[in-house]
Structure 1
Amino acid sequence: MLTTVSCDKDYLDVGVYGTPEVDAFYKTPTDAEQGLTAAYSPMREMYARENFLASTACTLLFGDIGTDDLLKGGASSDDGPQLFGKENYSLITSNTAVEAIWKVNYKGVLYANLVLNKVPNIVFTDVNRKKEILAEAHFLRAYYYYYLVTTFGGVPLLDKPLENGEYNVARATIEATYTFIENDLKIAISDLPSRFTKPTSFLGHADKGAALGLMMRISLYQNKMDQVKTYGEQLFALPYVLADYSILFRQEGEWNTGSIFEINMSSNASNLGTQMPNMMSPRSKGGIGFGQIQSDLRNEFEPNDPRFTASFYNVTGGYGTEWYNRKYAWAPYSNYSKPTTGGNGNSGNNIRLIRLADAYLMYAESIYSTNAPTAVQYVNKVRTRARGTALPTVVPDLPPTLSGQALLDAIYHERRVEFAGEGLRFQDLIRTGRAKTILASLGFVENKNEVMPIPQTQIDLSNKILSQNNY
């Protein structure tokens, strides 16, 4: 998209070798839209067929492997060594999954910076759309840095495309990295419309709700509970409504009323689909069998909780736990048929990144110590929706008098079962200080394994300006 191709008789007149094609781009509003589309592509690539290593490194697999939720799985203990290093906390600085996280997300930062650097100089007839494009780019840059900071801690902060001689940038502190993300999200929140004011063709673009939801999450990860509360109340002013849990991850559940942000996937072209069903399906059913569900997570569910069967399925006869993630599954375990285009890893199942239930439970956690009755109400919104039409004894409401540590534990429980297999468990344990206890038996080492190693290749490329984590 950022290059031009000539098919006439002058095709050999290619100009000076190395001349950046971007100089001939970003001239029109159409260029701006295409540049913005490019800025979204690394977000999709982390879960997509086109980049196998990146898709093994995504939050849905690499993120929670090594916790009490997911087992690496595969064909044997040594299948997927890049994931095995995460499972037993033996990561090395040449781990290919870790390097993929760095490369893909910094590509996203570059593409977002190109939009933010070039689009202000383009003349638009529709000035509101220009404002939206820039706000979307701010959201995207914030998202990529959110991925980087939760993986590596403080990282180099780039607010523009770098020129020759500028490439070696030292790491910022984790605090400065979060501040950078917050500043981008504040612009996005201010300037983005709500998807509820847009046609369905807008779905897949970041909107105000997505920016508010991501701001809640990065505030939670910093223990800034007042911010979680403030931005949550702004989000709840938008017309989101919890949807039936059984359809959330089905085709008809894409962009449901409780979906705050998703990555659009498509199976009608070779590189536009997600790899996740292929990664997570049993090997006996044509998949790879990664990310199997641990018994500890299955045992966390209350009796008859409908979310259990909506989240998991069992196929015997394979290596590992033999329990698999139904949220990203092919037929007959979902209504997503195996693809006919692009190979086995090309499912059209959207990746759900932020849901209303997440916002409700983040909000409840932010106020549990100051306004316990309201916190209970928000947890019960999630529990009431979870039981659906079942009797009130199924996933019963929390008592209105619940408070203190018992309420906090109930919120932790609800997060674990509500988001089972969605890639939030590891970060929830890190931010709440529970990882050192819960994950110690799995090999987790405090003050080391909270983050991943910086890829040694990147340290070498920086002429050693980048400093390594405790690896």
Structure 2
Amino acid sequence: MKINSRILKLVLVFIGISTLSCSDDYLDEVTYGEVSPDEMTNPDNVERAIISAYSVLNGQFDGASNAYNSPASNWSFGDVISDDAYKGGGGTGDQNNIHQMEIFNTNPTTLDIERKWMALYEGVKRVNEAMRLLAASENFDENLRSQRQAELHFLRGHYYFELKKIYNHIPYIDETAAEVKDYAKSNTEFTSEELWNKIETDFEAALKVLPETQTEVGRPTRIAAQAYLAKTYLFQGGWQLAYDATTAVINSNYGLMDDFQELFLPENDNNKEVIFAVQQSINDGQPSNYNGSIGDRLLAPGGPFYAQYGFHRPSQNLVNAFKVNAEGLPANSNENLTDTDPVDPRIDITIGRPGIPYKDLNILYEADWARDLATYGAFGPKKRIVSANSPYHLEVWPYVSALNYYIIRFGEVILWRAEAAVELGKLEEARQLVNQIRERAKNSAYVKTLDGSKDAANYEIELYNTAWTDKSLAREAVRTESRLELALEGHRFFNLVRWGIADKVISDYLKVEKTRRTHLSNASFTADKNEYMPIPQAYIDGIEDGLVTQNTGY
């Protein structure tokens, strides 16, 4: 049996080379050269192995600087191939691999398909090896052993969750893998249900042991495991299980930040709304600042303060989604937004729009900030862009920031519960939950004109004040709220897929958007194919013939 070294590299030797950091404090860089086999189970080295399992959460897993092809934020995998964003950049030839993803011309050799797979399986591999070392360490602190084991279960659950939602049919390898050949597995050995069960088992194991709070930021808590377990149920349509699993989260010490805009400031990282996040930092001694938002480094919007990369451009369709009707509720109109239209105030926290102040820079966002205005339009990302005035923004290459990426936040859990409540017929509870999200948006500070004298746009947002009695309308309201609240956070496409509406939504989107943006002229979504990415051809070619089955349509 042959094994492709690019896909299954460094399976058993990574700890003996180095480990990388991914946190502001406890995951400090540790580069310690070769470690002899008899020292591998030394408690300090086991802790380093565990740290290395955390370190690839941000998508950076090797010495290259292209984690933007395997971003933790899934800006390309979750937003660009949805109706929320265009690729952006310097035209379709700039990162053409992502352009091919955007028009659904992806194939098994696409760079991002391979890099994302490699990053996530690197995480799996590091978890498995850390588990083996932890079990073999005779001198490891017994008071910590079970907690570290639970953390590793949580991390493995995360990596496999990402693999499952992106590739669907995946090889599953656990800590019994001791040699390189043990990682050459079939992707059809387990059914979809069996794979979900294994992911659930990891989160359940974490849930039983993890503490209520952690003294070191970045390590998961019991509530984080509970929330992730709820998410696995949600992706399977297990409504009662998802509803029940969110109860402990809703009743926990986590909660909504008072101001929507302040939620995305790096100085507020690890606030009460953030349940689990990729910890990112800059100027911490890590070479090339790889502990920063390295997977998002192409998102800098241009203009006088930022690098001219210009990727992750909000779509006209997304901009239009923030329009509200006379009652202050979503208008659900895809007519192009005008300057006088009433809009949800979250639009100017989420999106850079011409004529609207950008962050705290005392400047209006301008259409010509766009690197390729003719191709991708005038709008830019804003929500997760850090102010150029902030010490958490790196002004030199690779132009990253220290803003964490929120894998799960409390606002999202509220929407999960609302979604499950609708499917269980609890329509009034769902309305109240959605209103919590809208009330926070209503009471947040609105973007002001440069002189601070008035609102920068015609902001209007109200609660749903009429009882919900129609299940289909309630379902649509929850889904719309999820789009508005979570826009450009990398979730949209995966939600469309699990809702079973990706084909209709994307096809309807493309029908209109092609008249606005010529780069989409050849885009076409194929049902029962484009919901998932192909298995990388390098993985298929690298192991025994017939062991791996390609996903349908590729």
> 1:362 and 2:378 equivalent?
no
Query: Who is 1:307 aligned against?
Result: 346
Query: Is the 1:49–1:273 contact (alpha carbons within 8 Å) kept by the matching residues of 2?
Result: no
Aligned residue for 2:80, secondary structure, equals coil
Query: Who is 1:281 aligned against?
Result: 300
What TM-score, normalized to structure 1? Answer: 0.89
Deviation at 1:247, TM superposition (A): 0.7
Q: Superposition RMSD on alpha carbons, in Å? A: 2.3
Aligned residue for 2:174, secondary structure, equals coil
Q: In 1, Cα distance between the equivalents of 2:391 and 2:501?
A: 36
Query: Is the 2:68–2:297 contact (alpha carbons within 8 Å) kept by the matching residues of 1?
Result: no
Which residue among 186, 193, 198 is the counterpart of 1:170? 186
Query: Who is 1:375 aligned against?
Result: 430
1:181-233, Cα deviation, whole Å (9 max, x unpaired): 000000011111122xx33xx11112212212211222111111111111100
Q: In 2, Cα distance between the equivalents of 1:384 and 1:375?
A: 14
- Change over 3 Å in CA distance of 1:216–1:50 after alignment to 2: farther
Tell me which moved more, 313-322 or 229-238: 313-322
Deviation at 1:326, TM superposition (A): 1.2
Which residue among 324, 327, 330 is the counterpart of 2:383? 327
Q: In 1, Cα distance between the equivalents of 2:432 and 2:62?
A: 41
> 1:466 and 2:484 equivalent?
no
Query: Is the 1:45–1:51 contact (alpha carbons within 8 Å) kept by the matching residues of 2?
Result: no
Which residue among 306, 312, 319 is the counterpart of 1:298? 319
Which AA in structure 1 matches 2:382? R
> 1:205 and 2:229 equivalent?
no
- Change over 3 Å in CA distance of 1:374–1:124 after alignment to 2: farther
Query: Is the 1:376–1:402 contact (alpha carbons within 8 Å) kept by the matching residues of 2?
Result: yes
Tell me which moved more, 53-62 or 433-442: 53-62
Q: In 1, Cα distance between the equivalents of 2:391 and 2:482?
A: 26
Which AA in structure 2 matches 1:434? I
Q: In 2, Cα distance between the equivalents of 1:273 and 1:25?
A: 31
Deviation at 1:30, TM superposition (A): 2.0
Which AA in structure 2 matches 1:218? T
Q: In 2, Cα distance between the equivalents of 1:445 and 1:210?
A: 35
> 1:353 and 2:418 equivalent?
no
Q: In 1, Cα distance between the equivalents of 2:460 and 2:62?
A: 39
Tell me which moved more, 272-281 or 211-220: 272-281
Query: Who is 1:157 aligned against?
Result: 172
Q: In 2, Cα distance between the equivalents of 1:435 and 1:25?
A: 51
Query: Is the 1:92–1:453 contact (alpha carbons within 8 Å) kept by the matching residues of 2?
Result: yes
What TM-score, normalized to structure 2? Answer: 0.77
Query: Is the 2:67–2:295 contact (alpha carbons within 8 Å) kept by the matching residues of 1?
Result: no
Aligned residue for 2:534, secondary structure, equals coil
- Change over 3 Å in CA distance of 1:25–1:40 after alignment to 2: farther
Query: Who is 1:61 aligned against?
Result: 76
Query: Who is 1:344 aligned against?
Result: 398
Which residue among 491, 494, 503 is the counterpart of 1:427? 494
Query: Who is 2:15 aligned against?
Result: 2
Query: Is the 1:219–1:225 contact (alpha carbons within 8 Å) kept by the matching residues of 2?
Result: yes
Which AA in structure 2 matches 1:457? A
Query: Is the 1:57–1:100 contact (alpha carbons within 8 Å) kept by the matching residues of 2?
Result: yes
Aligned residue for 2:106, secondary structure, equals coil
Deviation at 1:22, TM superposition (A): 7.2
Deviation at 1:305, TM superposition (A): 2.3
Aligned residue for 2:367, secondary structure, equals coil
Query: Is the 1:157–1:177 contact (alpha carbons within 8 Å) kept by the matching residues of 2?
Result: yes
Deviation at 1:49, TM superposition (A): 10
Query: Is the 2:151–2:210 contact (alpha carbons within 8 Å) kept by the matching residues of 1?
Result: yes
Q: In 1, Cα distance between the equivalents of 2:391 and 2:472?
A: 41
Query: Who is 1:28 aligned against?
Result: 42
Larger proportion of helix? 1
- Change over 3 Å in CA distance of 1:426–1:336 after alignment to 2: farther
1:338-357, Cα deviation, whole Å (9 max, x unpaired): 4157x223321111111101
Query: Who is 1:234 aligned against?
Result: 248
- Change over 3 Å in CA distance of 1:225–1:4 after alignment to 2: closer
Query: Is the 2:234–2:416 contact (alpha carbons within 8 Å) kept by the matching residues of 1?
Result: yes
> 1:103 and 2:118 equivalent?
yes
> 1:187 and 2:205 equivalent?
yes
Ranges in structure 2 where 5+ consecutive residues have no aligned partner: 1-13, 19-33, 325-341, 354-365, 447-458, 511-522
Which residue among 55, 80, 88 is the counterpart of 1:73? 88
- Change over 3 Å in CA distance of 1:277–1:96 after alignment to 2: closer
> Sequence identity, in percent?
26
Which AA in structure 2 matches 1:40? Y
1:85-109, Cα deviation, whole Å (9 max, x unpaired): 1100001111010001111111100
1:282-323, Cα deviation, whole Å (9 max, x unpaired): 344314111100011111113342211111113412321221
Query: Who is 1:142 aligned against?
Result: 157
1:233-278, Cα deviation, whole Å (9 max, x unpaired): 0212311120021111112321111111111111113221113553
Query: Who is 2:478 aligned against?
Result: 411
Which AA in structure 1 matches 2:312? G
- Change over 3 Å in CA distance of 1:108–1:322 after alignment to 2: same
- Change over 3 Å in CA distance of 1:81–1:373 after alignment to 2: same
- Change over 3 Å in CA distance of 1:372–1:272 after alignment to 2: same
Aligned residue for 1:229, secondary structure, equals helix
Q: In 1, Cα distance between the equivalents of 2:301 and 2:165?
A: 29
* Count of paired positions: 449
